[in-house]
Amino acid sequence: MDLGLKGKKAIICASSRGLGKGCAQALAEAGCDIVLNGRNETVLEETRSQLQNLYGVSVAAIAADVSTREGQEALLTACPNPDILVNNNGGPPRRDYSELDREALLEGVVQNFVTPIELIQAVVPGMKERGFGRIVNITSLSVKMPIEGLDLSSGARAGLTAFLAGVCRQLAPHGVTVNNLLPGKMDTDRLKGGFERAAQQSGKSLEDVRAAQAAEIPARRFGSAEEFGQTCAFLCSRHAGYITGQNILMDGGLYPAAF
């Protein structure tokens, strides 16, 4: 399917690895010129040259913390008029709610609520002017289904979801859509970190922890960054102009609900 994205410009935050990279790869494959981001310069450069060689589109790389003003400015300088913004970030580490002091709480809110909103505020005027814009926010299954130790991440992302539920209706007349992609258990470095922690705590092998977690998912497997990225690219495509304000779960059926 031609996604109608050839020559479009996309900023994909936190995209040197994992789900962000999956989105960047799918958008580059669809013909977008992309701006990648991550803090580790070596990994970022590897991804930049990999995607440049594979797809021949323009691939810029901004090594910066996307939660900082400087990081955001650097991204917007590299791509002042993006047609597509994929909001992504690391997210706060797993921690019991009772251990979160004020500083930690504010940091989580800045990462998963303030940062995506600031970037949306920056890119929307140009999108409205051009009559086309696609914003995809990577949130989490934990917005719908609590996960122990991820309360801050869930709360900040649920706040973002509610905030944008109103905003997306304001942007709809201008051809700008805003949607959220909710990963369940996707096979990335982040998930592997979780397996290692669980293996240490339980004394089980990594393989056993992995197999037990996969068995709990109706699809009996973890999701891949590639399939996640392709879904993101579809939401950015010309075919998805009538989809806005949606929360799309990618969890292999893990969240047990009819709606």
Residues near ligand NAP (CB under 6 A) are 14-20, 37-40, 43, 65-67, 88-91, 138, 140-141, 153, 183, 185-186, 188-191
Closest C-alpha to 213, from 115, 147, 116: 147
Smallest gap from Cβ 251 to ligand NAP, in A, equals 9
Least distance between ligand NAP and beta carbon 4 (Å): 26
Q: Give the contacts of 34 (CB within 8 A, at least 6 positions apart).
A: 9, 10, 11, 12, 24, 27, 28, 51, 57, 58, 59, 60
Beta carbon of residue 145, minimum distance to ligand NAP (angstroms, whole number): 11
> Shortest Cβ distance from residue 108 to ligand NAP (Å)?
11
- Distance of closest approach, residue 78 Cβ to ligand NAP, in angstroms: 14
Shortest separation between residue 90's beta carbon and ligand NAP, angstroms = 3
Instruction: State the angle between helix axes of 41-55 and 18-29 in degrees (0 to 180), rounded to the nearest 10.
Output: 20
Q: Which is nearer to ligand NAP, 17 or 210 (CB)?
A: 17
38 vs 133, beta carbon nearer ligand NAP: 38
Read off the tokens for 239: 């075919």
Task: DSSP for 85-139, please give it.
Answer: EEE----PPP--GGG--HHHHHHHHIIIIIHHHHHHHHHHHHHHHHT-EEEEEE-
Q: How many DSSP H helices and E strands does the chain contain?
A: 9, 7
As measured in angstroms, the least distance from the Cβ of 114 to ligand NAP is 12
Residues 12/27, Cβ–Cβ less than 8 Å:
yes
Residue 172 or 217: which CB sits closer to ligand NAP?
217
Between 153 and 177, CB nearer to ligand NAP: 153
Q: What residue is closest to ligand NAP based on CB?
A: 18
Measured distance CA(23)–CA(28) in Å, rounded: 9
Q: Give the nearer residue to ligand NAP in terms of CB position, either 171 or 179.
A: 179
- Cα–Cα distance, 134 to 48 (Å, whole number): 22
- Strand 247-250 relative to strand 33-38: parallel, antiparallel, unpaired? unpaired
Residue 116 neighbours by CB under 8 Å, 6+ apart: 87, 89, 137, 160
Closer CB to ligand NAP, residue 37 or residue 230? 37
Round to whole Å and give the CA distance between 170 and 65: 29
Identify which of residues 117 and 191 has a Cβ nearer to ligand NAP in the complex.
191
